[in-house]
Amino acid sequence: MFKPVSMLALALAASTAYASPIIVNSAADSGDGSLRAALAQASQANSAQEIIITHKDDIALASGLSYTGRAPLIITGHAQTLSLSANATLLSVTEGADLTLNSLRLQGPAGFSIEKRGDVNGQTAGKGLFVDVRDDQTGTVHLELNDVVVTGFANHGVHLSDCSLADDCGGGSGGAGEGSPASIAVMLNNVEVNNVGQGRFDADGLRVDERAAGDIRFTAVNSSFTYVGADGVELDEGQAGDVIVSVDNSSFNKNGAYCDPTLLKPFMPQVDEAEYDDGQAKESDVPAKVSGTADDRCFEREVKLYKSGSVKSYEFAIDLDDGFDIDEAGDGDLRAVVRNSVIRDNLDEGLDFDEEGSGSILLTIVNTEATGNTDDGFKNSEADAGDVRATMSGSVAQANGGKGAVFEEENDGDVAVVVLNSQTAKNDDSDKTGLEVVQEDAGNGVATVINSDIADGIDAEGVSVK
Ligand SMILES: [Ca+2]
Ligand SMILES: [Ca+2]
Ligand SMILES: [Ca+2]
Ligand SMILES: [Ca+2]
């Protein structure tokens, strides 16, 4: 069908063509001029839309909002609060559309904890923002948040899922599920995520699940992730594709305490780890799974067996989480630059970067501090084919319960670490573990330490220290 085309439309067509904005001039939950009505209109439009909230008041929502269109959407506010009183997801993007949010505060009901869970008694734990990538999606799904606050949700603050199992994808080497060929790109500028993920096990400040082909690109500037139940940020990339990270002037503090150790420690077995000789112990001798607690998923139980079937060792632990957690698996690299940032007082590692399958860790840490984390400050582990190539410059790892900075490389591949103008001290009770560099199996290992004070010592395995 032929339609006349205006000059304006032609001009806009040069980039993404946005129609004239949909104006929200009512703070009501629904009805004419409401944000809910604007989203319904945009969802029907089949073309890129911008919603501008001109009404200055906060918007109280009784139920979640959704955008069901596939075209890009921009929502621009004036720092209003969108508050959701129900334990539900505040904004769902159901068809993998590109989304930009400007100047808005997403407020959930808050008040969650392991003792006041958001995923029991028939509830589904709500998220602040959820982008669901379509199974057949290609290209790159973009999420851009500028001047946005996300707080008070039981589940993830922000979740992008290119994984068929939705909330059961898991993470790390245990990650499961299939995905689309698409990549996911997240850009955060002046974003604050705090007090989310406190109402469900393994709920993060920002979580990306990426499966099948495609990369994760994550950029955060002037942003913070604080008091999150699980990880401040977790990026899970499975199968083919890279994780590419750029973080500047951001903080990851006080995350990972959903499985409240004070509350749960009394439920741990009296002897929480043991080792046996072959033939000494059978599986029935190992303490059973912990049950009857506020959330039994918080207890990790690992049992290792000899070939004979007798127990070699067992270990129980309470599952606590990190400031910034990346798991890259399958083909592809983990490439990250973290600058001018703070990673403090997280309940497990500060920064926990794991790479497995073919591909390398290529990391630059500049002017960044990891202090007071319960386990290692900066932990980097690479396995299978590929190298660890890292530079730590002008950075500090201090008073962490584990090691200050760890760079470990297994199987084929080399490790090359340069530590420049950096300091470590008081990590792991001063047990010679300011800096640990490990090269296992085939390959070379070199750690070059320049103008740095590693007061608590260097532990090098298979690595020459210069
Ligand atoms: Ca994908
Ligand atoms: Ca990969
Ligand atoms: Ca590798
Ligand atoms: Ca090696």
Q: Which ligand is nearest to the CA of 354?
A: 3
> From ligand 1's centre to the CA of 388, what distance in Å?
25
Query: Of 286, 301, 318, which residue is a domain's last?
Result: 318
- 371 & 310 share domain: no
Let me know if residue 92 belongs to a domain: yes
Flag whether pLDDT at 204 surpasses 90.
yes
> Rounded to an integer, what distance in angstroms lies between the CA atom of residue 461 and that of residue 466?
14
CB-proximal residues (5 Å) to ion ligand 4: 409, 413, 441, 443
Flag whether pLDDT at 52 surpasses 90.
yes
pLDDT at 451: 98
- 284 & 330 share domain: no
User: What are the structure tokens assigned to 393, written together?
Assistant: 């410059």
- 222 & 132 share domain: yes
What percent of the chain is predicted at pLDDT more than 70? 95
Tell me the average pLDDT across 395-417: 97
Instruction: Match 């979640």 to its residue by tokens.
Output: 64
pLDDT at 461: 94
pLDDT at 1: 41
For 187-202, what is each residue's pLDDT tens digit?
Answer: 999 999 999 999 999 9
> From ligand 4's centre to the CA of 378, what distance in Å?
20
CB-proximal residues (5 Å) to ion ligand 3: 359, 384, 386
Q: Which ligand is nearest to the CA of 409?
A: 4
- 270 & 168 share domain: no
Flag whether pLDDT at 291 surpasses 50.
yes
- 183 & 288 share domain: no
pLDDT at 49: 97
Flag whether pLDDT at 171 surpasses 90.
no
Q: Which CATH number belongs to the domain containing residue 89 in this structure?
A: 2.160.20
Q: Which ligand is nearest to the CA of 410?
A: 4
Let me know if residue 383 belongs to a domain: yes
Query: Of 318, 334, 361, which residue is a domain's last?
Result: 318
> From ligand 4's centre to the CA of 414, what distance in Å?
5
> From ligand 2's centre to the CA of 219, what distance in Å?
18
- 399 & 286 share domain: no
Q: Which ligand is nearest to the CA of 358?
A: 3
- 451 & 353 share domain: yes
> From ligand 2's centre to the CA of 217, what distance in Å?
12
Tell me the average pLDDT across 285-292: 96
> From ligand 4's centre to the CA of 458, what distance in Å?
19
Flag whether pLDDT at 174 surpasses 60.
no
pLDDT at 2: 43
Let me know if residue 175 belongs to a domain: yes
Let me know if residue 3 belongs to a domain: no
- Boundaries of domain holding 277: 263-318
Nearest to 89 by CA among 114, 65, 59, 61: 65
**pTM summary value:** 0.94
- 413 & 274 share domain: no
pLDDT at 72: 98
> From ligand 2's centre to the CA of 159, what distance in Å?
19
Nearest to 184 by CA among 102, 99, 103: 99
Q: What secondary structure letter does DSSP report for 240?
A: S
- 32 & 82 share domain: yes
Flag whether pLDDT at 176 surpasses 80.
no
Nearest to 214 by CA among 241, 234, 185, 239: 241
Q: Which ligand is nearest to the CA of 179?
A: 1
Query: Of 318, 338, 356, which residue is a domain's last?
Result: 318
Contacts of 223 (CB under 8 A, 6+ apart): 188, 189, 190, 191, 192, 193, 250, 251
Q: Report how far apart, in Å, the C-alpha atoms of 78 and of each of 30, 74, 85, 98, 223 are.
A: 19, 13, 21, 21, 19
> From ligand 4's centre to the CA of 45, what distance in Å?
54
pLDDT at 3: 47
pLDDT at 12: 46
- 253 & 275 share domain: no
Let me know if residue 59 belongs to a domain: yes
For 66-108, what is each residue's pLDDT tens digit?
Answer: 999 999 999 999 999 999 999 999 999 999 999 999 999 999 9
For 150-165, what is each residue's pLDDT tens digit?
Answer: 999 999 999 999 998 8
Q: Confidence class of residue 8 from pLDDT cuts 50, 70 and 90?
A: very low
Q: Which ligand is nearest to the CA of 213?
A: 1
Three-state DSSP class for residue 361? strand
> From ligand 2's centre to the CA of 356, what distance in Å?
8
> From ligand 4's centre to the CA of 410, what distance in Å?
5
Instruction: Match 């001798």 to its residue by tokens.
Output: 285
> From ligand 3's centre to the CA of 357, what distance in Å?
5
- 205 & 292 share domain: no
pLDDT at 279: 95
Q: What is the mean pLDDT of the chain?
A: 94
pLDDT at 169: 80
> From ligand 3's centre to the CA of 117, what distance in Å?
38
What percent of the chain is predicted at pLDDT more than 90? 91
> From ligand 1's centre to the CA of 368, what distance in Å?
31
Q: Which ligand is nearest to the CA of 173?
A: 2
Q: Which ligand is nearest to the CA of 330?
A: 2
For 229-261, what is each residue's pLDDT tens digit?
Answer: 999 999 999 999 999 999 999 999 999 999 999
pLDDT at 9: 47
Tell me the average pLDDT across 336-344: 98
Tell me the average pLDDT across 338-367: 98
- 308 & 423 share domain: no
> From ligand 2's centre to the CA of 357, what distance in Å?
8
Q: Which ligand is nearest to the CA of 236?
A: 2
Let me know if residue 7 belongs to a domain: no
Beta-ladder partners of 74: 50, 100
- When divided into structural domains, the chain yields a total of 2
Which of 54-68, 383-397, 426-440 bottoms out in mean pLDDT, i.e. has the lowest? 426-440
Count CB neighbours of 25 within 10 A.
Answer: 12
For 9-31, what is each residue's pLDDT tens digit?
Answer: 444 445 678 879 999 999 999 99
Q: Which ligand is nearest to the CA of 412?
A: 4
Let me know if residue 5 belongs to a domain: no
